[in-house]
Amino acid sequence: MDLLRKLLLLSLLVMSSSPLAAEPRVIIDQSPISLSEFSMGYFVDLSQSLSYEEVTALPFTTTGSKTTLGTSARVTWFKVILDNASGLEQRLFVHLPHAYHVRSIDFYQERDGQLVDQQVLDLEQVGDNQLMYNGTAVYPLTLPAAQSITLYLRSHVYSHQWFAVQILDEQASRRALISISSDIALMVGMLLALVVYNGLLYFATSKKENIFYSFYLISGLVWIALSYGLVASFFDVYGSDVFQLNISLITMPIFLLLFMMTVFETRRFYPTEHRFLQGLLLLLCGTLVWGFFDISAALKPASSLAALMMIVTFSVSISLYRKGNPLVKYFLVGHSFFVIFNGIAVLFYKGIIAPTYLNSHGVGIGIVLEALTLAFIISHRIKILEDIRASQEELKKQAATDPLTRLYNRRFFFSEADYLLELAKNKGTPLAVLVIDIDHFKQVNDQYGHSCGDQVIVNIAQTLKKHSRTHDLVARFGGEEFVVLLPEADLQEASQCAERIRASVQALEVPVNTHDMVRCTVSIGIAEIMLGNDSVEAALKRADKALYHAKHSGRNQLCIETPEQADAQPG
């Protein structure tokens, strides 16, 4: 190992002796000082063991003050040369705003080739280290007038090396440290609101897609808050224990897949696509288990796994769209945002593209946009289910009602009447029934036509509804015959209701044309249901007999039939 290290150093020294472009320098020439865009050098220490003395003799590659180098640059040295051209001594503060995600940072300050200061920031043991403030490493230095300082920074990360350096004066440093990442807080706040909303929806509907979506949101907001420094800023916590929360980067696609499988019902309707999603889910679950033991190693293939996940889910979505799934078109819109922005982020984390706000925040933006679209899908699915339920209720209502009068029909009457009878037995309350028939209705049809007859039936049905109680059961049995079941009504109350109906129908006038009016009357039979051993059918037979007596006694009247009277009738 020592031999290999010596050979590596020798080869690098040989390379450094060849002509190179001048090293980038940062010129400090005027106040105020707030520099975030400048050039510096970097060197990737693949052995992860080079010392300061060894590194200073090696060539550095030029990069910007914001850079990303992927997962292979676990230990990287950065070199910043500061030249004071202002003629005044400058008190400066070197900020590393992404320090919250590293394992450790070492600072080496060199003047005239001599090491004058060395500071170590170990995020596993931050304690009261004055270099760390709410997720930002702050290294103070004094730059004498007309002099230079070379600053070496050794960054040791857990997984991805993405790095930024800022050079600020005291006032700019204070402003930067007290500022709040409002964009990140807004992202987290939106996701948190959606979590609460969908949690309530789950308790209201018990739909599994709501709980999977909520866990997807929780995973997303944890990762955003962790990766963009919100956790460090608010809770001032760092190190491997906090880095373990990056497991949310694996749980997030797991819950997204479970959401897809549930909301699109792939097991039931799309078995081929379901198997693809299952295979990807199995791979992610394996990575999740791996992450519990070694999160740094598990995150190494995370970018490639994310690319695979995006390909599979997008392909499955297109397949479902071609097969006519009504919801997947909305998912495709949101997932397109997710794929585009996460694809950009994958390239950023791999060090392929330069760091910009969009590139570095791609995952967070993609998560939020997809989360909003998934919320719309859930709401739209609820609307579809409500429409289906309303349609089913309408079909049930149509099956239970008479199409002409909109009163209940014979079939519904008997099923509901049996329920009301059991209820009356349990409460010990009386129950009565009316059988109503329109007098001489055939003459109306013969004289004025069936259209007029239908109008008479509709008007009498409305009269029955108007003069019966809200909890009475009113039904049309067919033709000109109607039945009313009166809960909590004895014979006296039933007779009063029947008389109201009879008198109202007698006063009713149905216009036939501009000159003629049709007047009708009804005959009504009344019977009380005996709660001991009586049935609705038996009571209806007695009421029908009472109706027969009313008809043969001159019509336009009501008649009561009691069980004793029925028993007295000759067989």
- 174-178, 209-213, 376-380: which range is least confident on average? 376-380
Note whether 298 and 305 are within 8 A (CB). Answer: no
Average pLDDT over residues 258-285: 93
Alpha carbon distance 274, 264 (integer Å): 10
Q: Does the pLDDT of residue 437 top 50, yes or no?
A: yes
Q: Who wins on pLDDT, 278 or 448? A: 278
Alpha carbon distance 564, 556 (integer Å): 25
CA torsion 268→269→275→277, rounded to 10°? -100
Q: In the structure encoding, which two tokens stand for residue 327, read together?
A: 């919801």
Q: Say which CATH number the domain at 53 has.
A: 2.60.40.2380
In a domain, 6, yes or no: no
In a domain, 107, yes or no: yes
In a domain, 478, yes or no: yes
Domain boundary among 178, 201, 222: 178
Give pLDDT tens digits for 354-364. Answer: 778 888 888 88
Based on the domain organization, do 482 and 528 belong to the same domain? yes
Average pLDDT over residues 125-149: 90
Based on the domain organization, do 373 and 418 belong to the same domain? no
Note whether 505 and 439 are within 8 A (CB). Answer: no
Alpha carbon distance 464, 438 (integer Å): 12
Instruction: Say if residue 245 is exposed, middle or buried (CB neighbours under 10 Å; 0-12, 13-18, 19+).
Output: middle
Mean of the per-residue pLDDT values of the chain: 86
Note whether 123 and 137 are within 8 A (CB). Answer: no
- How many residues are listed for the chain in this entry? 571
- The residue to which tokens 């009068």 are assigned: 405
Alpha carbon distance 466, 285 (integer Å): 65
Instruction: Say if residue 82 is exposed, middle or buried (CB neighbours under 10 Å; 0-12, 13-18, 19+).
Output: buried
Domain boundary among 393, 428, 450: 393
Alpha carbon distance 53, 31 (integer Å): 34
Alpha carbon distance 185, 365 (integer Å): 12
Domain count, the chain: 3
DSSP strand pairing (75-84 vs 26-28): parallel
In a domain, 355, yes or no: yes
- The residue to which tokens 């000759």 are assigned: 570
> 32 preceded by cis ω (within 30°)?
yes
In a domain, 167, yes or no: yes
Q: Say which CATH number the domain at 439 has.
A: 3.30.70.270
Q: Say which CATH number the domain at 351 has.
A: 1.20.1070
Based on the domain organization, do 353 and 426 belong to the same domain? no
DSSP state of 490: -
Catalytic residues: 480
Q: Who wins on pLDDT, 129 or 547? A: 547
DSSP strand pairing (481-487 vs 132-133): unpaired
Give pLDDT tens digits for 77-133. Answer: 999 999 999 888 999 999 999 998 899 999 999 998 899 999 999 988 888 788 998
Q: Does the pLDDT of residue 165 top 90, yes or no?
A: yes
In a domain, 60, yes or no: yes
Confidence grade of residue 563 (pLDDT, cut at 50, 70, 90): low
Note whether 95 and 173 are within 8 A (CB). Answer: yes
State percent of the chain over pLDDT 70. 94
SS3 at position 319: helix
pLDDT at position 12, please?
Answer: 41
- Closest CA relative to residue 454, chosen from 536, 546, 520, 394: 520
Is the pTM higher than 0.85? Answer: no
- Where in the sequence is the domain holding 427, given as residue range(s)? 410-568
Alpha carbon distance 491, 273 (integer Å): 67
Alpha carbon distance 228, 216 (integer Å): 18
Note whether 472 and 485 are within 8 A (CB). Answer: yes
pLDDT at position 282, please?
Answer: 95
Based on the domain organization, do 308 and 204 belong to the same domain? yes
Confidence grade of residue 14 (pLDDT, cut at 50, 70, 90): very low
Instruction: Say if residue 10 is exposed, middle or buried (CB neighbours under 10 Å; 0-12, 13-18, 19+).
Output: exposed
Based on the domain organization, do 63 and 160 belong to the same domain? yes
Q: In the structure encoding, which two tokens stand for residue 497, read together?
A: 């209701």
Give pLDDT tens digits for 491-545. Answer: 999 999 999 999 999 999 888 776 778 899 999 999 999 887 888 999 999 999 9
Based on the domain organization, do 296 and 348 belong to the same domain? yes
In a domain, 13, yes or no: no
Q: Does the pLDDT of residue 26 top 90, yes or no?
A: yes
Q: In the structure encoding, which two tokens stand for residue 72, read together?
A: 């292979």
Confidence grade of residue 11 (pLDDT, cut at 50, 70, 90): very low
Confidence grade of residue 570 (pLDDT, cut at 50, 70, 90): very low
Which residues are CB-neighbours of 283 under 8 A, at least 6 positions away? Answer: 305, 308
Query: Residue 247, Cβ neighbours under 10 Å: how many?
Result: 19
In a domain, 14, yes or no: no
Average pLDDT over residues 285-300: 87
Alpha carbon distance 529, 433 (integer Å): 7
Note whether 486 and 497 are within 8 A (CB). Answer: yes
The stretches of 100-247 forming alpha helices (DSSP H) are 170-178, 182-205, 208-227, 230-235, 240-243
Alpha carbon distance 571, 556 (integer Å): 27
Alpha carbon distance 551, 545 (integer Å): 10
Based on the domain organization, do 171 and 217 belong to the same domain? no
Give pLDDT tens digits for 409-420. Answer: 888 888 888 889
Based on the domain organization, do 325 and 376 belong to the same domain? yes
Based on the domain organization, do 437 and 538 belong to the same domain? yes
Q: In the structure encoding, which two tokens stand for residue 571, read together?
A: 């067989």
Based on the domain organization, do 152 and 188 belong to the same domain? no
Q: Does the pLDDT of residue 303 top 90, yes or no?
A: no
- 111-115, 209-213, 562-566: which range is least confident on average? 562-566
Residues forming a β-bridge with 121: 105
Confidence grade of residue 565 (pLDDT, cut at 50, 70, 90): low
Q: How far out from the chain centre does Cα 135 lie?
A: 30
Q: Who wins on pLDDT, 70 or 82? A: 82
Based on the domain organization, do 342 and 293 belong to the same domain? yes
Q: How far out from the chain centre does Cα 406 lie?
A: 41
Q: Who wins on pLDDT, 439 or 363? A: 439
Domain boundary among 341, 361, 393: 393
Based on the domain organization, do 349 and 462 belong to the same domain? no
CA angle 427, 430, 431 (to 5 degrees): 110
Q: Who wins on pLDDT, 533 or 274? A: 274
